[in-house]
Structure 1
Amino acid sequence: MSAENGTPDTPAGSPDPTGPRPEPLRFFGTTWVDHGTGYTARRAAVSAGSLILAAASCLVLRIAYQGLQLAGVGGFVELLMVVMFAVCGALAFRHTWSGFTSRPDPERQASLRGLLAIGFIGSLLAYFCRSLTEAPGEKLHRAEYEQARARHVKRTARRSGDPTRKRRRS
């Protein structure tokens, strides 16, 4: 096991005789499987980190808003900026939150890239909220991993004996 992220040291393409391997999560590696190797500390760090980043980002946006006020661009532009960040933040929160329970469509993800970049504070807040209860994406990955393990057990349970010694029918 790698000490950095909890992932196995074997290469991803090598066959694993014990069955399917869990997919590592960002910041958690594969510690989400058995909640070991500092899982709780990582969750606390991710929660705190995402909340601190969201607060710092709000401070930067506040400074940008004050810059618009000093420039005297007018009330309409200031209102437009506030509404843009609020709407994009809400959409980014919803998109990120739904990404924890289902795999996002790659085409839709690519088309929303700009909107998600503008609403990054919403994504950070979604990450904070989810990491309070579990590793973000853990529920989805656990369900997929359990299904893969069940398929592996079902597939290997049907095998019996050595296939090379199988008798041929004439």
Structure 2
Amino acid sequence: MATLLLVDDEPNILSALRRVLLARDDFGDAPDYQIHLFTSPQEALQASEHEHFDLVLSDYRMPEMSGVAFLTDFRYLQPDCIRIILSGMTDLQGLIAAINEVEIYRFLPKPWNDFELRSTIAGALRYQHLLLENQRMADELRTMREQSTRQEDELRRLEAEMPGITKVRWGPDGSVLL
């Protein structure tokens, strides 16, 4: 189950987003999302100190703080969370700031297209899953390399103490030569 954080100063927008995101698809399947709604970016930040979120969707223009400022603060709390901005404004400088400072995954316009919104959320969550899986595999590879290095160091130490102990000499008939 993915946990989504939606932040917009308009409660009606939040209700509409929740309705769209939890709607059943053409096959009758509903997405498995747990959705948290906040009209206050400050309250959303407080919640994010205790609750893990997979994806955050924030309005760009809010009276309390901008979406970029909110996502900047949020990013320090949860750097692996996918960040998306939703806005009715097409402020090019703000969009550039969002991309460069906050590393948003996508910028969605208001009014949104329901299919595009659902597709973007699903794609973002798949992308996040791949990033986290790649990170897990890289960590596992580092651990294996460290273990291999320790084993190689131990073999060198043993070979220095007792030359020939780490090498096996085979006879022509497959026997071990001493």
Same fold? TM cut 0.5: no
Structure 1 or 2, whichever has the larger Rg, is 2
Which TM-score bucket, shorter chain as reference?
0.3 to 0.5
Higher relative contact order (CA 8 A, sep 6+): 1
TM-score (norm 1): 0.34
